[in-house]
Amino acid sequence: MKRVSIKDVAKEAGVSVATVSYVINNTPNQSISDETSLRIRKAVTKLNYIPNLNARSLASRKTNLIGVVIPQTEPGKEFMFSNPFYGDLLSSIEYTARQHSYHLLLSGPEPNQSYINIARNRSVDGIIIVGAYPTKGLDELRQLDIPVVLVDTYVKDPVYHTVGIDDRLGGKMATAYLIEKGHSKIAFVSGQIEEQGVMQKRFQGYRDALEDAGIPFHQDFVYLGNISFEYAQATADEMLRRGRIETAAFASADILGMGLIKGLRRQGFHVPEDLSIVGFDDVSLAQMADPSLTTVRQDISAKGKTAVQFILDAVSGNIEKQEKILPIHIVERESVKNL
């Protein structure tokens, strides 16, 4: 079946191709009567005309594509959507982009893949990178003439826009909350701690709270693996193997907190009666856990929306670097026992 072209629409409406283009693209500063616009739109509907996005991109030098890169820190893992944080974040990014007629190109590069090749090969108008560590790959992105927004990335750079939270403060808040509830033997359950990474900041906050309370730090209370439900379940087994003298745990991501709940229950223990747990993120599933998870809430939706808005602002000509630190707070639910 022959594809309907813009020329077909122009012929049906009795106008020029340029006039059809102005109406379809809502081009400003064009004096086109309401009657003509209506005639063109009726022709579009009648012929079921679908604009050629590739042609539009060539004409405007815009693709209306935003690249979203989530570096895979654990090669070989189906990591991206195993953590509901990313699902919540991407939902917000996609919705905000769609409201402005943009689409997403999602990539999960392995550690040795180049960010710059992703941007060049796909011709995106801007790129959002989530949870990256300081690397040569990030430095290379300065060569591109497109806006870059770093989310949850502790990189000091005069060019890149940034959106995040104070992860160190969040780790301190979570641990201090458990201390306020009478706990002093507090486990830290996390993914691997990387230099200038989010988990390192949350771990520093954990230690800050212990130090402020005069509670000694114990390396045996630290459990490091990967950020997954399965690892957290295995951590519950490891706690019991070590004799589990902890009364509480700060899980540095909600998925870890939920995995701990399941792992302990599998061994015949219960939260919070046998172990109190505070998570981090307040993903949509946290309140559905049994028991529901007390956690450090960050506004994941606002984080995604802000990242997209920074791209849109830059594409529209705002050359000023933008930064935003979003607020966090404790959400009290059912997973902490007051000693």
Q: What is the pLDDT of residues 116-161, one digit of tens each?
A: 676 666 678 899 999 887 766 677 777 777 899 999 999 877 889 9
Domains of the chain, residue spans:
6-51, 65-165+300-326, 167-299
Instruction: Give this prediction's pTM.
Output: 0.80
The C-alpha atoms of residue 124 and residue 232 are separated, in whole angstroms, by 37
- The CATH architecture assigned to 6-51 reads Orthogonal Bundle (1.10)
Task: State percent of the chain over pLDDT 90.
Answer: 58
Burial class (CB in 10 A: 0-12, 13-18, 19+), 36: middle
Q: What is the pLDDT of residues 281-294, one digit of tens each?
A: 999 999 999 999 99
Q: What are phi and psi of 201, to 5 degrees?
A: -65, -40
The C-alpha atoms of residue 255 and residue 87 are separated, in whole angstroms, by 12
Q: What is the DSSP letter of 220?
A: G
Task: Decide if pLDDT at 71 tops 90.
Answer: no
> What mean pLDDT is predicted for residues 4-8?
84
* Model pLDDT, residue 2: 65
Q: What is the pLDDT of residues 164-216, one digit of tens each?
A: 999 999 999 999 999 999 999 999 999 999 888 999 999 999 999 999 999 99
How many CB atoms sit inside 10 A of residue 139's CB? 13
Tokens representing residue 50 in the block:
């679908």
**Strand 294-298 vs strand 103-107: parallel, antiparallel, or unpaired?**
unpaired
What is the residue-averaged pLDDT of the chain? 87
The C-alpha atoms of residue 279 and residue 254 are separated, in whole angstroms, by 5
**Whether CATH 3.40.50.2300 fits 65-165+300-326:** yes
* Model pLDDT, residue 26: 67
Q: Is there a shared CATH topology between the 6-51 domain and the 167-299 domain?
A: no
**Strand 186-191 vs strand 222-225: parallel, antiparallel, or unpaired?**
parallel
190 and 199 Cβ atoms separated by less than 8 Å: yes
Q: What are phi and psi of 107, to 5 degrees?
A: -140, 140
310 CB-near residues (< 8 Å, 6+ apart): 147, 149, 161, 163, 322
Assign 45 a pLDDT band (cuts: 50, 70, 90): confident
The C-alpha atoms of residue 268 and residue 110 are separated, in whole angstroms, by 39
Query: Of 42-46, 87-91, 119-123, where does mean pLDDT reach its minimum?
Result: 119-123
Q: Which CATH number among 2.30.38.10, 2.40.50.100, 3.90.1150.10, 3.40.50.2300 corresponds to the domain 167-299?
A: 3.40.50.2300
Q: In this structure, what is the dihedral angle of CA atoms 39, 41, 45, 50, given to the nearest 10 degrees?
A: 130
